[in-house]
Structure 1
Amino acid sequence: MAYRLLPGSKAPDFTLPDSAGNNVSLGSLTGDEGRSTVLYFYPAASTPGCTKQACDFRDSLASLQAAGYNVLGVSPDPVAKLAKFADAEGLTFPLLSDADHSVAEAYGAWGEKKNYGKTYQGLIRSTFVIGPDGLVTLAQYNVRATGHVAKLRRDLNLD
């Protein structure tokens, strides 16, 4: 079994390019006016499940921000694909490119997957909530794209 983060773990810091090519680091967001960060990993931009999940985050963004949460999406897609995805879906939160999947690995969100009887290495749809102190407060692995944001909101007592 791959390494997994648990609540109370120090969140691995990172710096990744966003869909506009600007570098975004977790360290610059933690401690940001007492805000927490929702960091979610998704396999591929512009696929049905990932689009549904991203649009759910987009539609909940104002209320998440009002409750003190930043949202960051991370995938192994290149910056250009993320830019096209953000533009097509009107996504207003940062989408980060983890092309070598090193950040996903650090979070335990990269590992063995099975699809139609084949085993391969890939991104495990996962979500983390990181407090202003840089500690993981919630770690969810193998989440479902549909309904995930609603479940996350319930888990954070926002509904």
Structure 2
Amino acid sequence: MAVNPDLLPKDSGVYLYLICGHGREHEPLSPVKIGITANVAARLASVQTGQHTRLSVLAAFTTPNRDIARTLESQWHRHFAKHRLEGEWFDVDPITALEVMCLGWRHYFQNVPEFINFVDIPFYEREAKVMRAWREYYAANSNVVSIKKAD
């Protein structure tokens, strides 16, 4: 469900990213990091250093310029302010964060619909729905047992 860092652009544009850890079943876990960067893959590698859990990029939104990226980043930081742990880290459900970010993106660019499609907001919205549906199914079916690899 996360963006493969090998497929992320290395040096073009400014990106607003959502990074989180993931569990044994690769489900996204809190906390989340919301930030901006010109190189998402390098930023993920830098943030991963010193982390006890494997991190992944849940979303990377392309922005037209750094000013817009900062505006959106500040908007989402304010939205999640009561859940701030430290710096850009928030104790927020990653799926909820992704849904809020997609809604905010649509609102911010409501007069530029081609830009919404350019950054593939519909893709991220579908991803959030799939992740939420899987979580609800998993919770409702407590007899679902994870399969562990044999040593």
TM exceeding 0.5 = no
Name the one with the larger strand percent: 1
TM (normalized to structure 1)? 0.28
TM (normalized to structure 2)? 0.29
Q: Greater relative contact order (Cα 8 A, min sep 6): structure 1 or 2?
A: 1
